[in-house]
Amino acid sequence: MVSRLTIERAIVDKIVAHARADHPDEACGVVAGAIGSDRPVRFIAMTNAERSPTFYRFDSMEQFQVWREMDDRDEEPVVIYHSHTATPAYPSRTDVSYASEPNAHYVLVSTADPDEHEFRSFRLVDGEVTEEEVQVVETYG
Partner 1 sequence: MAIEVRIPTIMRNLTDGAKAVEGKGGTLDELFSDLDDRHPGLRERLVDDKGLRRFVNVYLNDEDVRFLGGLDTQVSDGDTVTVLPAVAGG
Burial of 128 (0-12, 13-18, 19+ CB in 10 A): exposed
Verify binding: residue 63, partner 1, rule CB under 8 A: yes
CA dist 71 and 100 (Å) reads: 17
Report 94-123 residues binding partner 1 (CB under 8 A).
94-96, 98-103
Residues 6+ apart with CB under 8 A from 139: 8
Q: Of residues 7, 8, 25, 56, which one binds partner 1 by CB under 8 A?
A: 56
Q: Which of 18, 23, 82, 120 binds partner 1 (CB under 8 A)?
A: 82
Instruction: Identify the three-state secondary structure at position 92.
Output: coil
Q: Under the criterion CB under 8 A, does residue 18 sit at the interface with partner 1? A: no
| Contact range with partner 1 by CB under 8 A, out of 3-11, 16-24, 61-69, 127-135 | 61-69
Judged by CB under 8 A, the residue of 60, 72, 113, 141 near partner 1 is 60
Asked if residues 108 and 91 have their Cβ atoms less than 8 Å apart, the reply is yes
Nearer to partner 1, 14 or 57 (CB): 57
Residue 73 gets which letter from DSSP?
A: T
Q: How far is the CB of 67 from partner 1 (least distance, A)?
A: 6
Minimum CB separation from partner 1 for residue 75, in Å? Answer: 13
Is the preceding peptide bond at 24 cis, omega within 30 degrees of 0? yes
Q: How many residues are recorded in the chain?
A: 141
3-state SS, residue 16? helix
Chain residues in the site for partner 1 (CB under 8 A): 28, 30, 46, 50, 54-58, 60-61, 63-64, 67, 80, 82, 91-96, 98-103
